[in-house]
Structure 1
Amino acid sequence: MHSNRWLQALLSFGFLWFVLAIAFAPANKIYQQGLVALVWLPTLVLAWPARTLIGEYWRGQRVMCVLLLLLMAWATISLSWSQADDLSREFKRTLYIAVFILFFPILAASCPERIIRLLQWSGAGMALAALVSLIQFFVIRHNPWFARAEGLGELSHPILGAYVIGVVAVWTLLLPPRGRLMQVAWAAGLLFSAAFVVMSQSRGAVLALVLTMVLLPVWWRDRRALMISAGFIIAALAGFWLMEALMMARGSSFRPEIFAAAIKMISLHPWGGLGLGSPYNVFVAEGLKFDHSHNLFTHTAIELGLPGMLLWAGIWLTVLWESWRARDTDLGRCLVGVWVFSTLAMQFDAASLTGSPRAEWFISWLPIGLACVLVWARAPRHAVVKSRVQFNQ
């Protein structure tokens, strides 16, 4: 029992590492090595002792599990015609994703409250990362206020950094602390995170954040949701009035042209795609090309064909269904918000589905992993206690 508790603490630290070290780790190699030590290996060690939990997850979300297995199988089959430089590396990444999904039911151990606490603490850490990023970029490095803010570490890209900070801000907002002093720190952290998203000038991230907050009353039937929604509408109108020139200066950034070119590429290989991990370029004009489609669904279709895209869409809709069913719980309400933000975000800039852990995972595999825990968020209390006791034994 004590060894399992020790490993549970290790897994909790692994989750915090996944979220926070993407900003604070000194190098991507160290970030990846930390994930191996704190997420992949402990999950494999605990997989057999936690077989009861994994079985409950399978029975509670059988449709999602089957779709995930089918997607992994189809991605593996597509390696037979892929033009990827290293096929073994692509196969290894699919295994990493499978272990990452298993990580969450084992981490939760029938206790959704543990996940909520980890989300709250990681949200506080990322709010600090947003504040430090703004200070470093505008104060220490003396960039002009109209420059696009960059984050720390792997969040140095303005777009990807804004998406990560944005999705963390969504779950932080929907999981407020109880103590009055903590609520003051929570509100300040949300302000820092929102400021970073705005100052990154990532229009996709700003739009995703604003629309998520505006739609909040749809699944959170509470007066606070109405107040937040109204506040964001006013703030968005004021922000657009103040920063209209900056936001509109880059035009559409070729997004319509990229989408049209991506659809044409899909039509050339509709069933099998190019194969998992195959490099490609999207040509939108003579001499102008992009190395991905800037949309997670079209990217998946280009690599894995329409079967792969439909499987991914099925998984994603299942996450919404599971979250919506649990919207009366704290975790379920939080995940609906994360799903809405992620769905909007992946329409504009997501560049990878099966790559190594990176910023895109925050709007793809992380919501899926968190949705696994909803099995116990909805479960009767006596069933949760029983499975928790079996695992601890």
Structure 2
Amino acid sequence: MHISSLRQTGNRFFDFVCLWVLPVGLLMLLGTLFFLPDRSVHHKLYYGLFSIPTLLALCIRPSELKRLVGEPVVIFFMLFAGFAILSLCWSPTTTAADNLIKRPLHTLMLFFGTALLLRHRPGVLKSIFLGAALLALLGTLRDLYAFALTYTPGTRLIGTGALDNPLLSSHLFGFFGIYWLWMAMDSKRLHLMALCLAAFTVMFVAVVATGSRTPLVAMTLAANWLALLCWNRRSIPLFAAAPLVIAGILLFAPHLITGRGDSYRFEIWQTTWQLFVQHPLIGHGYDAPMRVDTGMGYLLSEPHNFALGVLFNVGILGFIPWIAMIGYALYSGWKQRALPVFQLASTLLVFGIGAGLTEGGGILSRPKEHWFLLWIPLALIAGLNIARRAGCLLPAPRPRISDTQFDQLTDGARLIEEDGLGPKVLELRDGSFLKLFRRRDWYTSGAWHPYSARFVRNSQRLALAGIATPDVLELMVRTDGSQGVRYRPLSGQTVRQALQASTSPQERQQLVHRLGQFIARLHDQGVYFRSLHLGNILLLNSGEFGLIDLADMRLLPSALSAELRRRNLRHMQRYDQDRQWLFEEQVDALLEGYASTASASMSQALRTQLGHSPRTAH
């Protein structure tokens, strides 16, 4: 009993971390640098709300590691970080070894935590990024307003909060600028696209105001990459926009690009390369001090190029997994370019690669602006790859279909279900079903997490868990914003129909006993089906059970708690006929079937809730 209680407590903690703590932690990591007093607070927020909770969750459930460490991006990172830690054996660094080892471990927790979040609560990523981007937009508007009030020729915008450098500030402005550009490309509504373009303009103006030129190159690279990934009618103006903007800057404000020369970049790179060739194979070691004299009167300590920094610190042996990690991530983004979330993650990575051409110091650092260039995009792609393999990501939707195409698709269809607003389910001529989901207001949860998407995602995840569900064929969007899911239905009858057709109490008892086993299996696999009733459970022709009407469902990382199990069975008691069959006539068969699959403690909790004692008590 004690072990069972500990296991249940561990499950609740794991679920709490994956479903609530990690989303908050990622939001804090992305959106708070504009408002915090210094980076140390940012570090503490990340450690307390993301890194440490991820580590504790994995200690509670180490079985998750098998799935996480099988991702190539993660493998390449661990090889890179492992060699960096090994290089401390020959590094002349004066920093304590334990301090340096913590940095790649915290970065690894970014990969693991992002993967856990995207696997167990994938639908929240869109809300997290939107929340962080809105925080960044508010902070940027505030910074631009203050900059305009105090502007004098030659000054450069430095973000407030924990931002203290024009170039580092430009990384965040550019990062969220790319996010808003992706939102505009992905938007299906013109007014929303216009708002996203306005937000992008604010972030772009902030990048220009910093006087940093590399982010302009990085944003151009990212915009072209995004146009290639999307490849629709919006791609052509996006291709044309970048050279037009650069031409406009050269024409009206050329000093923004030419005013500071090359900032000694070529001298820095030449000196760094000369240092690299002294130890080309293994490098000078992780965190090895660098001194670059460009004749400015003071020494520089950074190579100002990510790739050169890696070569200097860990040589060719460390560079190989580093470049392989980036290359595989870009390949994943291109291969999965039909999925909008991959478009965003890989475009952010391309921006980071471009920004890293003239920026970069320590190869493994604490959370700061550099994380937005490489580690955050790489962690996103790794997590998305893991979530895709687990069936947690939606398939690419069919291109928006016109009213004419919809009429052709539904011509001759048989009406299966309707409500006061029109058809809800149609049987098409090819035998497939089309379930329609009407457009929701923008401020409702149905707009941000469409029920059509929930239906498809739940169907995929249940199928991977071995639970029969309708086979989804495609997800489609109509011109009016409504959506539809075309699927191949399961063959069978509802359990309600099967019970009605039962010819004897014994036959009904056997069916209810098997139903109890199936419900226990759902609960043990973390399936909380709010619409669980006998009309949504099918008795298949094969004799197994299956589920339909899947939109109103939560799939939790762990088995359901006793309270959720009781609540789920209370839902089934709302229907008079179901209650009579299951909780009056055949309650013993239901609970005995449930107890044959679920744990003794959970079975007893349900008996207590129903006020029912086992018949064997006498």
2:303 to 272, 275, 293: 293
Unpaired runs of 5+ residues, structure 1, are none
Cα separation, 2, equivalents of 1:53 and 1:114? 20
- Provide the secondary structure at the position in 2 that maps to 1:352: coil
Amino acid paired to 1:65: V
How far does residue 364 in structure 1 lie from its aligned partner after superposition? 1.5
How far does residue 363 in structure 1 lie from its aligned partner after superposition? 0.6
How far does residue 220 in structure 1 lie from its aligned partner after superposition? 1.6
Larger Rg, first or second structure (1 or 2): 2
Q: Deviations over 1:71-125 (max 9, x none)?
A: 1221111111122222221111121111121111112134443223212221222
Cα separation, 2, equivalents of 1:49 and 1:225? 46
Aligned residues of 1:258 and 1:282 also touching (Cα < 8 A): yes
The 3 A distance-change label for structure 1 pair 133 and 392 is farther
Cα separation, 2, equivalents of 1:318 and 1:180? 35
1:75 partnered with 2:84: yes
Equivalent in the alignment of 1:156: 164
Equivalent in the alignment of 2:73: 64
How far does residue 192 in structure 1 lie from its aligned partner after superposition? 1.1
Aligned residues of 1:175 and 1:330 also touching (Cα < 8 A): no
How far does residue 29 in structure 1 lie from its aligned partner after superposition? 1.9
Aligned residues of 1:146 and 1:246 also touching (Cα < 8 A): no
Aligned residues of 1:326 and 1:377 also touching (Cα < 8 A): no
The 3 A distance-change label for structure 1 pair 280 and 30 is same
The 3 A distance-change label for structure 1 pair 308 and 25 is same
Cα separation, 2, equivalents of 1:233 and 1:123? 26
Cα separation, 1, equivalents of 2:153 and 2:341? 37
Equivalent in the alignment of 1:310: 320
1:16 partnered with 2:33: no
1:128 to 138, 161, 181: 138
1:119 to 129, 132, 145: 129
Which sits farther off after the overlay, 266-275 or 111-120?
Answer: 111-120
Aligned residues of 2:91 and 2:286 also touching (Cα < 8 A): yes
Between Structure 1 and Structure 2, the one with more strand by share is 2
1:34 to 36, 45, 48: 45
Aligned residues of 1:5 and 1:392 also touching (Cα < 8 A): yes
- 1:135-284 matches, cutoff 5 A: 135-139=145-149, 142-144=150-152, 146-176=154-184, 182-284=192-294
Amino acid paired to 2:42: Y
Cα separation, 2, equivalents of 1:45 and 1:169? 34
Aligned residues of 1:127 and 1:189 also touching (Cα < 8 A): yes
Cα separation, 1, equivalents of 2:226 and 2:118? 26
Q: Deviations over 1:322-360 (max 9, x none)?
A: 111111101111122112211111010122221111110
How far does residue 295 in structure 1 lie from its aligned partner after superposition? 0.4
Cα separation, 2, equivalents of 1:179 and 1:332? 21
Q: Deviations over 1:231-254 (max 9, x none)?
A: 333222112211102321111111
How far does residue 293 in structure 1 lie from its aligned partner after superposition? 0.3
Aligned residues of 2:23 and 2:128 also touching (Cα < 8 A): yes
Instruction: Give TM-score scaled by structure 1 length.
Output: 0.91
Aligned residues of 2:111 and 2:383 also touching (Cα < 8 A): no
Runs of 4+ in 1 over 6 A off after TM superposition: none
Unpaired runs of 5+ residues, structure 2, are 1-10, 392-456, 466-525, 527-554, 560-618
The 3 A distance-change label for structure 1 pair 218 and 9 is same
Aligned residues of 2:116 and 2:383 also touching (Cα < 8 A): no
Amino acid paired to 2:135: G
- Provide the secondary structure at the position in 2 that maps to 1:47: helix
- Provide the secondary structure at the position in 1 that maps to 2:263: coil
Q: Deviations over 1:199-256 (max 9, x none)?
A: 1110001111123223433222111122222233322211221110232111111111
Which sits farther off after the overlay, 286-295 or 325-334?
Answer: 286-295
Aligned residues of 1:275 and 1:304 also touching (Cα < 8 A): yes
The 3 A distance-change label for structure 1 pair 239 and 182 is same
Which sits farther off after the overlay, 266-275 or 105-114?
Answer: 105-114
- Provide the secondary structure at the position in 1 that maps to 2:155: coil
Cα separation, 1, equivalents of 2:352 and 2:209? 20
Aligned residues of 2:183 and 2:193 also touching (Cα < 8 A): no
Cα separation, 2, equivalents of 1:174 and 1:19? 17
Amino acid paired to 2:312: I
Amino acid paired to 1:10: V
Amino acid paired to 2:256: L
How far does residue 54 in structure 1 lie from its aligned partner after superposition? 4.2
- Provide the secondary structure at the position in 1 that maps to 2:294: strand
Cα separation, 1, equivalents of 2:52 and 2:191? 38
- Provide the secondary structure at the position in 1 that maps to 2:557: helix
Aligned residues of 2:279 and 2:315 also touching (Cα < 8 A): yes
Equivalent in the alignment of 2:522: none
Cα separation, 1, equivalents of 2:63 and 2:334? 25
Task: Choose between structure 1 and 2 for higher RCO, CA contacts under 8 A separated by at least 6 residues.
Answer: 1
Amino acid paired to 1:20: G
The 3 A distance-change label for structure 1 pair 33 and 228 is same
Aligned residues of 2:114 and 2:380 also touching (Cα < 8 A): yes
Cα separation, 2, equivalents of 1:135 and 1:258? 35
Cα separation, 2, equivalents of 1:77 and 1:163? 30
How far does residue 154 in structure 1 lie from its aligned partner after superposition? 2.8
How far does residue 50 in structure 1 lie from its aligned partner after superposition? 5.6
1:55 partnered with 2:66: yes
Between Structure 1 and Structure 2, the one with more helix by share is 1
